[in-house]
Amino acid sequence: MHKINRSKLSTKNSKFSSLNINLTHPNKLLYPDVNITKLDLANYYNKLSEWILPYITNRPLTLLRCPNGQKKKCFYQRHLMVETANLHAITLTDKTHKREPYLYIKNKLGLMALIQLGVLEIHPWASQIDKIEKPDFITFDLDPGSDIEWKKVIETAFLIKEHLQKINLHSFVKTTGSKGLHVVIPIKRLYSWDKIKIFAQTFVQYLALQNPQLVVANMSKTKRKGKIFVDYLRNQRGASSIAPYSTRIRANAAVATPLNWDELTTRIKSDTFTVKNLPHRLAKLKRDPWSDFFILKQKLNLPCYNFAKKPN
């Protein structure tokens, strides 16, 4: 169970200098619409480091870097050509059979090094570097079109939860800080990337067959109109998804936020929680919504999984 350290969740700024890290240009505005500087962002991650680190350490990362702020040019980085004291690389073969050095971090100092680089989004793989071919969670990404009401997104998340319960799988939910929700299943590190992709794809196809007016398993823009695309492609080797507690490049400095299922109502939108208000939320919580995430080691009943049959 995640032990909540309330002293670190004080809404007062902590001194980033206490980590003995040189943060250049601390007063640079990274989120100008809400007046958040590079130092503010460093203080946010310093306070919440114990919450986010379990999800991002010792995993290959895809980073969205915006050195001059959310409104300026941004770019993705996955590779690290030269290791430093706090940034590390693992050499992996990509889908073109090319060997590349993939970036990862080990600890809080690594996290702070990302802030120094102007990282505004952190997207980890679903596997750890010590067992890179065996993922430890599955993500269903609910991606609604602009014409979809938020209550329909919530309804779809609960549908996924209920169908997973029928096959004895416990799931967790988080806002993405962007438009949608993620429903995530922690699993034992037993299955290959191909197997979890097939599992996720078959599950989403079944969900779409059961709920054709609400869910679509095809990412085609024409087929998605008026429906929610449940993206299963986050579950293939090399893919990544936004980390819990990571910031997004939204103008309001929104943060991807784990929720309790009973919190998932229309009162909370995908971008409700931000750099400014999330520390206050966590300070008030009696229990971490995802406290059991790394405790649960769930098995997939793959041989019996036959969701793709059309229902009677």
Do residues 97 and 167 share a domain? Answer: no
Do residues 120 and 144 share a domain? Answer: no
pLDDT in tens, 174-185: 999 999 999 999
H helices of 22-107, in order, are: 38-47, 49-56
- 305 part of a folded domain: no
Mean pLDDT in residue range 65-92: 96
Range of the domain at 155: 137-284
Name the percent of the chain lying above pLDDT 70. Answer: 88
- Please tell me whether residue 85 adopts helix, strand or coil conformation: coil
Structural domain count, the chain: 2
Q: Are 102 and 78 in contact (CB under 8 A)?
A: yes
Do residues 110 and 141 share a domain? Answer: no
Do residues 144 and 107 share a domain? Answer: no
Do residues 145 and 235 share a domain? Answer: yes
Question: How far is Cα 258 from Cα 244, in angstroms, rounded to an integer?
Answer: 6
Instruction: Work out whether strand 137-144 and strand 181-186 pair parallel, antiparallel, or are unpaired.
Output: antiparallel
Place of tokens 């779809």: 156
Question: How far is Cα 91 from Cα 100, in angstroms, rounded to an integer?
Answer: 5
Question: How far is Cα 49 from Cα 59, in angstroms, rounded to an integer?
Answer: 16
Do residues 221 and 271 share a domain? Answer: yes
Does pTM surpass 0.75? yes
Do residues 38 and 61 share a domain? Answer: yes
- 220 part of a folded domain: yes
- 201 part of a folded domain: yes
Do residues 120 and 180 share a domain? Answer: no
- 292 part of a folded domain: no
Do residues 114 and 144 share a domain? Answer: no
Count the Cβ atoms, other than its own, within 10 Å of residue 52: 21
Q: Are 161 and 183 in contact (CB under 8 A)?
A: yes
Do residues 205 and 161 share a domain? Answer: yes
- 311 part of a folded domain: no
Q: What's the confidence (pLDDT) of residue 7? A: 46
Do residues 20 and 155 share a domain? Answer: no
- 293 part of a folded domain: no
- 130 part of a folded domain: no
pLDDT in tens, 187-239: 999 999 999 999 999 999 999 999 999 999 987 666 677 899 999 999 999 99
- 202 part of a folded domain: yes
Q: Domain containing 193 — which CATH number?
A: 3.90.920.10
